[in-house]
């Protein structure tokens, strides 16, 4: 019957009812490309908080939580070795996934939760919202429409709140992320990485708010799913994207106390929010969670 599970073996009892929870799921950021390349796209961002459709979690049932890691930045040499960020997945009664950010391998940006920025040649930025979700999990990377020259630059990676910049050497910042207050405070997540440049001809490119890496030399921020900054001409390595993050918020009305929530491994955590009394489960790495 809907709403609870019947125990077998003649017990005649009923399992505790499922608990409705809110969530925030951030994918890993994509790596920035090498040599005047685009910035990495931010990891996808999906949330029910506040006011969205909650998820059900059965009690006394262990669930696996997968946190996507940031993609590699493009190393020096050929071919570019930048990689996409990893997907983050909250697999409870209904599975919620956020796609890892797209990388920026020097030509067209790759698709992802948010797309990687185009490189120094005329090319499109990677498309965002690779999971096809509504509302979308992210935005495209910046597109380069300028013919190549020695001073050409890469474009910004997309962020959860905005596309990557595509205005040429002077405007190639990563797309801004989006704010969420599931933790009790407003935090901005999933900013895109800035596009790389020819040194001295455009200057550093800012990463998007929410952990996007500045180009050059700044990786995306772990726990925010930011895209990595693209590499300049010299030094020309791109930087990695930031790891993703997952939060589960259990309302105080469910009557669940923090000691009755089991989380592993120890680098993940559970706490009680004040003044709401809601329980917040925070996942920085892949692990498990069980209520009751």
Tell me whether residue 124 is in a domain.
yes
pLDDT (0 to 100) of residue 201:
66
- Say if CB 113 and CB 44 are below 8 A apart: yes
263 falls within a domain:
no
- pLDDT tens-digit profile, the chain (292 residues): 333 333 433 444 567 899 999 999 999 999 999 999 999 999 999 999 999 999 999 999 999 999 999 999 998 877 888 999 999 999 999 999 999 999 998 789 999 999 999 998 899 999 999 999 999 999 999 999 888 887 788 999 999 999 999 876 567 899 999 999 999 999 999 999 999 987 766 778 999 999 999 998 899 999 999 999 999 987 789 999 999 999 999 999 999 999 999 999 999 999 999 999 999 999 999 999 999 9
- 85: CB partners within 8 A, 6+ apart: 27, 28, 29, 30, 31, 40, 41, 43, 68, 69, 70, 71, 100, 101, 112, 113, 225, 227, 241, 244
Residue 200 pLDDT: 62
Least Cα distance to 117 among 50, 211, 197, 55 occurs for 197
How buried is 150 (Cβ within 10 angstroms: 0-12 exposed, 13-18 middle, 19+ buried)? exposed
For residue 168, being part of any structural domain is answered with yes
Rounded Cα distance between 190 and 53, Å, is 21
Distance CA 12, CA 205 (A): 65
pLDDT for 5 equals 38
110 is a domain residue: yes
Inside any domain, residue 59: no
Backbone phi, then psi, for 258, in 5-degree steps? -55, -40
Q: Can you give the residue range of the structural domain that contains 112?
A: 27-38+101-144+151-244
End-to-end CA gap in the chain = 20
> Based on the structure, what is the number of domains in the chain?
1
Residue 86 lies in a domain: no
Report if residue 51 sits inside a domain. no
Residue 168 pLDDT: 60
In a domain, 72, yes or no: no
Q: What tokens were used for 93? A: 């009664």
User: Residue 265 and residue 292: Cα distance in Å, rounded?
Assistant: 17
Which of 259, 252, 243 is CA-nearest to residue 279?
252
């Amino acid at each position: 019957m809907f709403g609870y599970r019947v125990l077998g073996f003649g017990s005649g009892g009923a399992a505790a009812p499922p608990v409705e929870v809110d969530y925030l799921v951030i994918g890993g950021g994509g790596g920035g490309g090498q040599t005047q390349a685009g910035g990495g796209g931010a990891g996808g961002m999906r949330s029910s908080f506040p006011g969205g459709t909650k998820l059900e979690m059965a009690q006394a049932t262990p669930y696996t939580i997968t946190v996507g890691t940031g993609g590699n930045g493009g190393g020096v040499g050929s071919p570019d070795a930048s990689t996409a960020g990893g997907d983050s997945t909250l697999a409870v009664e209904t599975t919620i996934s956020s796609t890892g950010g797209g990388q920026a391998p020097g030509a067209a940006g790759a698709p992802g939760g948010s797309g990687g920025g185009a490189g120094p040649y005329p090319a499109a930025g990677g498309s965002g919202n690779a999971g096809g979700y509504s509302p979308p999990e992210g935005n495209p990377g910046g597109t380069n429409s300028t013919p190549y020259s020695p001073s050409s630059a890469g474009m910004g990676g997309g962020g959860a709140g905005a596309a990557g910049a595509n205005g040429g050497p002077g405007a190639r910042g990563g797309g801004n992320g989006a704010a969420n207050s599931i933790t009790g405070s407003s935090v901005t997540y999933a900013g895109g990485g800035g596009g790389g440049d020819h040194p001295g001809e455009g200057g550093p490119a800012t990463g998007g708010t929410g952990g996007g890496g500045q180009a050059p030399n700044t990786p995306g921020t772990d726990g925010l799913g930011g895209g990595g900054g693209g590499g300049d001409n010299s030094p020309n390595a791109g930087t990695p994207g930031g790891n993703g993050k997952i939060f589960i918020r259990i309302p105080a009305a469910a009557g669940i106390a923090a000691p009755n929530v089991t989380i592993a491994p120890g680098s993940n955590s559970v706490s009680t929010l004040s003044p709401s009394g809601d329980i917040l489960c925070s996942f920085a790495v892949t692990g498990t969670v069980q209520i009751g």
